[in-house]
A and B are shown apart, each in its own frame.
With several copies, the nearest count.
Chain A
Amino acid sequence: MAADTGRLTGTPPAVRVRDLYRDFGPGRTVLRGLDLDVAPGEFVALIGRSGTGKSTLLRALAGLDRDVAGHGEVTVPDSVSVVFQDSRLLPWKRILPNVVFGSRAPDAVVRGERALAEVGLAGRERAWPHELSGGEQQRASLARSLVRQPELLLADEPFGALDALTRIRMHALLRRLCETHRPAVLLVTHDVDEAIVLADRVILLDDGVVHTDVRVELPHRSPADPAFAELRAYLLDRLGVHDEDVPAGRRAAA
């Protein structure tokens, strides 16, 4: 469980970040000299406290922060796909057009319909975004990234609003996608279990740098596995969750 730079092979990394600074004004320097490499096809989970700069980093990789102060070196592949933290469906397009929007594949509509079915939204192709529940919107936005085949997938908490079962299905879906097209993935999540289950590597952002960087090398990715529990405990500890934080019984005599 030693920190790992991610530079395993001789091939150049898909993502290369050096000495990245991002600064939202006095006292709000969010990234302060961050370095990161992600190998092609590598699945990296990014965890960190709320407000540490995970979305800021993703936006830097996506090239959406032209107007933010800061400097540093960022290299990413040409074709990048982003799942935003908000689901960001165009309100004036129905779901299917939203999912295939920008896709130039000749069979875009068929693929869109298939992607919608995969995320459990078959039959909702003609719904308006505002007619979907929170989790459904999130899944639609996931479907939008499924119809694309990017070299880099940046996903900002794509499963935050999903229940356990749906989440497990979406995990499987994402894994299938990764196995077929092997994009490099940077997935932001708050769920340490999710990070361990999905990723090749988990990195923890804190104080503007990569504070912890662990490779996940488990034979069985099951919470029942003791190695799993150990890694989980380690990560939670690095996140600052200690035993005293775990709630004791309360309101015993309600």
Chain B
Amino acid sequence: MTAAVDTRVVRRRLGPGRRIRLAFWVGPVLLLAVWALGSAFGVISPAILTAPWDVLTAFRDQWVEHDLLGNVLASLARAGLGLAFGALAGTVLAVVSGLSRWGESLIDGPIQIKRSVPTLALIPLFIAWFGIGQEMKVVTIALISMIPIYVNTHNGLRGIDGRYAELAETLAIGRGEFVRHVVLPGALPGFLLGLRFAVTSSLLGLVVVEQYNATSGVGHMMTLAEQYGQTDVLVVGLVIYGVFGFLADATVRLTERKVLTWRRTLDG
């Protein structure tokens, strides 16, 4: 059976087909290559975008001299805490407003309005309510990252096939069980998509909140770099954002693949 014949009927594949191993890295690596080559051959002037090697130097400098690690950790702690609260609040609100028309009428409108309004303009309110310390920062990030979780989970929940709700109704289960066994797993794809947005939102929120009374953090570092015009440090910040964002996104998508194995979709 080692050399068994295997001629199959070959049909033009219309879906994306099988995953290519490590293909994942092609885009970012290409981006890096373009940046490096562009800088090397003078297509990208250092005035516009610092060259990768200069960013590396700046990176080492920040790491050794200015506690880059501490900044990153401080930021991650803030973002992580805010994200955790935001994800929890977003999910709870999405379930409440997804399962009850009255809940929806109370919750949904204000959230859409909050979502439409620039966070920067809300900061004065938050400062008044929560002070200028860690609390304000975490609350702001929580509110920022709550939004995509809410919207996507709500949307995912409302997209659950109505036949499963019918089934649940004939099984005479309670609302709690319904939420646990039907609503949450059914809305999980939506939630995970929301999480992907929430992760990046929480990181981006740092840039805003760390302008206020922060003494550490990547956002703080970038604010200072902007003030003093340290382009290379600014690009260090951008790279950190890019790397963290990309890795966080990749992590969520990996999780997605693991927990959504039950799905038979174009994703294969």
Contact = CB atoms under 8 A, between A and B. Distances in A.
Whether the complex brings A and B within 8 Å at their CB atoms is answered: yes
Interface in B159-183: 163-164, 166-173, 177, 181-182
B171 A102 contact: yes
Which among A62, A74, A79, A102 has the greatest number of chain B C-beta atoms within 10 A?
A102
Nearest to B165: A64
A145 to B, nearest CB: 10
Interface string A95-119: 0000001110000000000000000
Nearest to B10: A63
Contacts of A80: 9, 170
A63 B166 CA distance: 9
Nearest to B264: A130
A92 B252 CA distance: 19
B181 A128 contact: no
A201 to B, nearest CB: 21
Contacts of B6: 70-73
**Top 5 A-B residue pairs of the complex, sorted by shortest distance between their CB atoms:** A63-B9, A102-B171, A71-B6, A63-B11, A71-B4
12 contacts: A61-B9, A64-B170, A66-B8, A74-B8, A76-B9, A79-B172, A86-B163, A88-B164, A90-B167, A91-B262, A101-B181, A102-B173
B170 A92 contact: no
Interface string A69-85: 01111111001111010
Interface string A165-195: 0000000000000000000000000000000
B19 to A, nearest CB: 11
Contacts of B164: 88, 90
B227 interface: no
Interface residues of B, number: 32
B258 interface: no
B169 A63 contact: yes
B21 interface: no
Interface residues on A, range: 35 or more
Contacts, number: 87
Contact of A91 (B166, B168, B263): B263
A65 interface: yes
Interface string B255-268: 00000011110001
Contact of A72 (B4, B261, B263): B4
B183 to A, nearest CB: 11
A66 B170 contact: no
B188 interface: yes
Given A19-B5, A73-B7, 6 more contacts: A62-B170, A65-B8, A74-B7, A82-B167, A88-B163, A93-B185
